[in-house]
Amino acid sequence: MPSFGDVLDIASGGLEIAESALEAVPGLPALVAGFKLLVDKVQLVREVDDRHSDFLAQVDKLKTVIGTAAKKVGFQNAYEICREDRKIVDSIPWADAGYWSVDELKSGFMQGTRKELFTELESWSHGRFPEDKPKRVCYLSGGAGLGKSSIVHQLCVRLDAAERHPLRLGASLLFVRGRGDLESARLFFPTLTRQLAQTQLSIRPHIFSAAREYLVHGEQQWMQHTLQGLLRKALIAAPANQPPTLLVIDGIDECKDGELVPDLLRSSLSLVREFLWLYVFAAWRPEPHILSVLASPDFADIVHHMGLEDTLEDWGDDVELYLKETVPRIPSYADFPNKHPRALERLINAQPACPSLLASQ
């Protein structure tokens, strides 16, 4: 049987090995050696008098050092894997089209306006609108300048700020004409996939796995290949009990490759039908090639249509609020509301002027 001094030498040696592992993570060989010595030492300590507290203190210290080393190695490895996965996803072409990236013109929204509309959207997001049969796709149509983009942006802001909401924001894609990648329908599905990898932790590893296989065939692929080989493949592999997740799309009518839009819409609606936890809120002008898809019998049962033109008569209070808040801030018109109170009234009641005024906010 080894002497007590021999045992302490073994413990000290094991401690040095474990400490060296901490200095050179991931020093797995050294770490394994430290664990092995720990096992041998624990066997020996059973035969040593319990009064030798110095030795027991060494054992405890060795356990702590090795445990810390193991955690550090694990964290380091996890970090390296995550970084490599992120590189893989980032190598797929995408557009910086999230709601946080839009300019002031599209993000401008005056609090206190559009109350009726947002009341309906809140009911829709809770599955209570339309009352007769709630639908998981809500399409907001309207002509140019009616404020569709500001409504979309405000909806995203509210959902992201809500601590508890039955519908979480998964991705937002706001297209902009004449802004390079922001007018490319071809980048729709890769961008959607990348954002879901950022916001949905339970889907993220499946997106990373699908991305590795997808990139074997190149970074830029046909839109349907991207849909099937990247996004849909990841969604199929993910757990089926996902929380309700919203995809927000704005201005798809502004895409330069408009010939891809009908197929893009059909594919997106098919995803909603296949994955019952997916929701879509979309806003764009009611152009024929878009309406032909949304109003088709294939998707009529999942699409609810809201038209901004149908609510013009309800905008009087919004326009009044906007004018009263804005006009006094213009130096040359600061006293205008006080000197000409009826002039603002006439302007507010001028229905043709309302849409453009409200949109300018």
Q: Which 3 state secondary structure label does DSSP give 127?
A: coil
Question: How far is residue 266's CA from residue 256's CA, in Å, rounded to a whole number?
Answer: 18
Question: How far is residue 242's CA from residue 125's CA, in Å, rounded to a whole number?
Answer: 16
Nearest partner of 148 among 251, 37, 295, 292, judged by Cα? 251
Question: How far is residue 146's CA from residue 309's CA, in Å, rounded to a whole number?
Answer: 8
> 98 with 182: CB under 8 angstroms?
no
What is the model's pLDDT at position 163? 85
Kindly list the distances between the CA atom of residue 204 and the CA atoms of 172, 197, 212, 276, in Å, as whole numbers in the listed order.
Answer: 17, 4, 13, 19
In residues, how long is the chain? Answer: 361
> 268 with 189: CB under 8 angstroms?
no
- Tell me which amino acid residue 203 is: I
- Tell me which amino acid residue 173 is: L
Question: How far is residue 80's CA from residue 72's CA, in Å, rounded to a whole number?
Answer: 12
Model's pTM, two decimal places?
0.70
Question: How far is residue 138's CA from residue 308's CA, in Å, rounded to a whole number?
Answer: 13
Nearest partner of 307 among 146, 154, 152, judged by Cα? 146
What is the model's pLDDT at position 332? 72
Number of neighbours of residue 233 by Cβ within 10 angstroms: 19
Bridge-based pairing state of the strands 245-250 and 168-174: parallel
Question: How far is residue 330's CA from residue 140's CA, in Å, rounded to a whole number?
Answer: 32
Number of neighbours of residue 253 by Cβ within 10 angstroms: 18
Residues 6+ apart with CB under 8 A from 22: 65, 68, 69, 72
How far from chain centre, in Å, is Cα 14?
A: 47
Kindly list the distances between the CA atom of residue 280 and the CA atoms of 52, 158, 242, in Å, as whole numbers in the listed order.
Answer: 69, 16, 15
- In tens digits, the chain (361 residues) has pLDDT values of 545 445 444 444 444 444 444 454 455 555 556 655 655 655 555 555 555 566 666 667 666 766 676 666 555 555 566 778 778 888 889 999 999 988 766 777 788 888 889 999 999 999 888 877 889 999 999 988 888 999 999 999 999 999 889 999 999 999 999 989 999 999 999 999 999 999 999 999 999 999 999 999 888 899 999 999 999 999 999 999 999 999 999 999 999 999 999 999 999 999 999 999 999 999 999 999 999 999 999 999 999 999 988 766 665 566 666 666 776 777 777 777 677 777 666 665 664 444 444 444 4
